[in-house]
Every structure is written in C-alpha cells, then in structure tokens.
Amino acid sequence: MITIEEEDIVQWCQASDRELIGGIDTTTKVIRKNNLAIKFGAVYQEEADNQREAYNLLSNEFLRVPLVHRFFRKASVGYLVMEYIDGVGSGWEGDEDVSAVAMCFAYMHTFTSAHPGPIRQGTSRGLLWPEADPPSFGSSEELAAFVNSRLVVQNPEFSVSDDALCLCHLDLAPRNLLKAADASIVILDWSSAGYYPRSFEIAALRCNGRQRMDGIGWSARVEKSICAANPLTCGEQKQIDFMLEMTYNNVRYGFDRSREVFTVKRRCHKRKRIQLCEQHECEPHALSTMLFPGAIPASFSGTENVTSLHCGPAEVPAAPDTADDEMAHLKPQLSVKTGKLSYCAHSPVAHHTRGRCPGS
C-alpha cells in the first residue's frame, strides 16, 4: 500500500504537464506518474473492488490485472491508483492473438457466484445498463425482472434461473488490452465487470463491435473463438437477443425509475408466490407463513381482488392476481378524440422520449 497523500494525487491529475495515457476523448482519463497509473473522473468504488478481486483471482503467467493501490473520491471525482504495466495496446488482429484473448475470457468464465452484479455487489454499470440510473440486483430474479421490464415483447420472458453466473468483463475491446513484455495479456478497465450469465459477455462484445465499425470483424472473431469449445445454447442465443433489445430501449426510451422499481419488486413477489404455490400445492392465501416466517398470521382484505396483505402493523402490497390489477398501476391517458382512457400495455414502466410507449 502506497502512502501518497490524496492532495498530491489530485494535483498530479490536474497538472498541465501530466502524462496522459488513456481517455483522451472521454470523461474518464488515465495518467502515468512514475510506476503508477491513475484513473480519475467517473470512477466508482465498484470498479476498484472488481479490479482488486480480479487481481486475486486471475493473475497468472499468461493473464495479468494491474494491482490496485488505493481508491478515493474527492469533489465527486473518483481516483483509482494502480500499478503501471508497460505494454503494447495494438496489434490484436492476428489469429494467435484472437485465440489468446478468447482463452483468457474463457478462463474468466470458470469463476462463478450465486449473486449477480459487481464482484463485491453494488451498482451495475457499463454498456448494457442505463447510464442515468444504473441498477443493482439482489438476486437472479431481480436481474431477470429488470430486463423484462425494459422489453417490448415479454413472451417468452427473459430468464436466467438455469444459468450459472460467471465472472464477466463486459467491455472486451482492443482498447482495454495490453501485450506485456513477457507476452502476457493485461486486461484493463474493470468498471463493468461482475457475475452475470455468459451470454451477457457476448452481448457486450457485440455492442462494442457495433459502436466501433472497425471492430465488428474483430469482435465476431473473438466471439467465435470463445464459443468454439463451448458453443452457445439456444437459450443463450435468446438471452443475447433480449439483452441487445434492452440496451437499444435504454437509449431510445425514457423510464420512470420509481415506477420501474415497484414493477420489478412486484414481479419478483408474484413469481415467488407462484413458485411456492406449485411447490406446496396450496392456494395463495396459505402463503403468509411461508413468505413472512414468524409474522402475525396474515389475512387478505377485499372481496373480489386481493389488494393488500396485512402482517401485523405493517402493510405489504401484494402482487396483482387479475388482469385488472395488472393494469391498475399504469398511468391512464385520456384520448381527446374518443374520450376513452388508454394504457401502455407492452412496457408499463417505459415512455418514449417523444411521449410514446414502446410498441405503441
């Protein structure tokens, strides 16, 4: 652990004669100071944690991750101080180089976890997620519910219940690779990394290729090499299509985050009730002790539709059981021409930037 003062690090980054080695045209920049590389700007704790864990898990004779010395934030700017590794950042077009990169990422995918998101939990950031309000996930069910909430067509629904959550980088591109003097591959920029289905890595790889037209061929070659030994399943292919649709919708549409959070929680709650009903072969009204162990016996209010679930003094909204309840939370829109109310039925939590919903 280095003992340099934070004020000195900030001054190095702001100096006019700084040695800029990355992020020339972005809000996040990287400078070199002696044997240190300092990344500053839109840098967050999750990236520092991801890189620390990746260093501990992955570093070996053919794959290297820069060692993190410290991270801090000052005046809304993040500063990530790491070791500087000298290497060449170009020349990844050869077949042997593509195969070596694919081998590194296939090796990464052998590390798994039970929880989705950044390696030490937190907020998911990067190409696949909305930049304005990035999400965080407590379970695979929440991850699937979030993706479904941003799809125009939700039948069949996106699901990751049967998929392993493996270590993914989610920003694989030549700009994030270095070839060290000892021929090892150095992987940079761990801001998007975390435990996700393998299909997310391929979806992010395709997004990167499309953003840089000259990188489509390289991305396709890396994808082919990654999947050579372990081909994508039909389910993974569908997941990739869903993820690409979601990233497109994140750009094209605006989302009301407060309503979206409610929708995600409601869907997770409803799915859990259905699973418990199937497991215990019981009716929904018998789930109170299963969902809320140790609570006061629950009772339902209402005569026709379930509207709330009472557990002691607190009230917990229950998942809708009818089509009417499913539409109840939507914001009605009154038509001037017909005088009728209409709802956004395809994506209830989304609205187009021009005032239209996906699919309308």
**Residue 281: inside a domain:** yes
What's the pLDDT score for residue 125? Answer: 95
Same domain? 157 vs 265: no
**Residue 336: inside a domain:** no
Q: For the segment 56-103, what is each residue's pLDDT rounded down to a tens digit?
A: 999 888 999 999 999 999 999 999 999 999 999 888 889 999 999 999
Same domain? 186 vs 267: no
What's the pLDDT score for residue 250? Answer: 85
Taking the C-alpha atoms of residue 312 and residue 9, their distance in angstroms, rounded to an integer, is 54
Same domain? 126 vs 243: yes
Report how far Cα 45 is from the mean position of its chain's Cα atoms.
15
Same domain? 97 vs 82: no
Same domain? 95 vs 50: no
Q: Of the candidates 233, 254, 275, which is a domain's last residue?
A: 254
Query: Is 258's pLDDT higher than 80?
Result: no
Read off the pLDDT band of 25 (50, 70, 90). Answer: confident
Which residues are within 8 A (CB) of 345 and not within 5 positions of it... i.e. 6 or more apart?
327, 330
Same domain? 25 vs 109: no
**Residue 189: inside a domain:** yes
The phi-psi region of residue 13 (left if phi > 0; otherwise alpha if psi is between -120 and 50; otherwise beta) is alpha
Query: Is 119's pLDDT higher than 70?
Result: yes
What's the pLDDT score for residue 328? Answer: 43
Peptide bond between residue 156 and the one before it cis (omega within 30 degrees of 0): yes
In this structure, what token pair is assigned to residue 119?
Answer: 């390696």
Same domain? 204 vs 133: yes
**Residue 344: inside a domain:** no
Give the lowest-confidence range in 191-195, 242-246, 284-288: 284-288
Query: Is 349's pLDDT higher than 80?
Result: no
CATH number of domain containing 112: 3.90.1200.10
Same domain? 242 vs 168: yes
The SS3 call for residue 78 is: strand
Q: For the segment 310-333, what is each residue's pLDDT rounded down to a tens digit?
A: 334 444 445 444 444 444 444 444
Same domain? 209 vs 69: no
In this structure, what token pair is assigned to residue 231?
Answer: 């081909």
> Average pLDDT, whole number, for the chain?
79
Taking the C-alpha atoms of residue 99 and residue 153, their distance in angstroms, rounded to an integer, is 36
Percentage, residues of the chain above pLDDT 90? 53
Same domain? 12 vs 117: no
Q: Of the candidates 254, 285, 300, which is a domain's last residue?
A: 254
**Residue 283: inside a domain:** yes
CA angle (235, 236, 238) in 5-degree steps: 65
Give the burial class of 322: count Cβ atoms within 10 A of its Cβ; 0-12 exposed, 13-18 middle, 19 or more buried.
exposed
**Could you list the residue range(s) of the whole structural domain that residue 278 is in?**
257-329
Amino acid at 214: D
**What phi, psi does 139 have (nearest 5°)?**
-160, 170
**Residue 356: inside a domain:** no
Mean pLDDT of 201-205: 96
Beta-bridged to residue 40, according to DSSP, are 29, 79
Read off the pLDDT band of 271 (50, 70, 90). Answer: low
**Residue 334: inside a domain:** no
Structural domains of the chain, count = 3
The SS3 call for residue 54 is: helix
**Residue 339: inside a domain:** no
Beta-bridged to residue 316, according to DSSP, are 309
Same domain? 110 vs 185: yes
Taking the C-alpha atoms of residue 120 and residue 80, their distance in angstroms, rounded to an integer, is 17
360 in Cβ contact with 344 (< 8 Å)? yes
H or E element in which residue 92 lies: none
Q: For the segment 208-256, what is each residue's pLDDT rounded down to a tens digit?
A: 887 665 556 899 999 999 999 899 999 999 999 999 999 988 887 766 6
In this structure, what token pair is assigned to residue 280?
Answer: 């215990």
CATH number of domain containing 23: 3.30.200.20
Q: Of the candidates 196, 221, 254, which is a domain's last residue?
A: 254
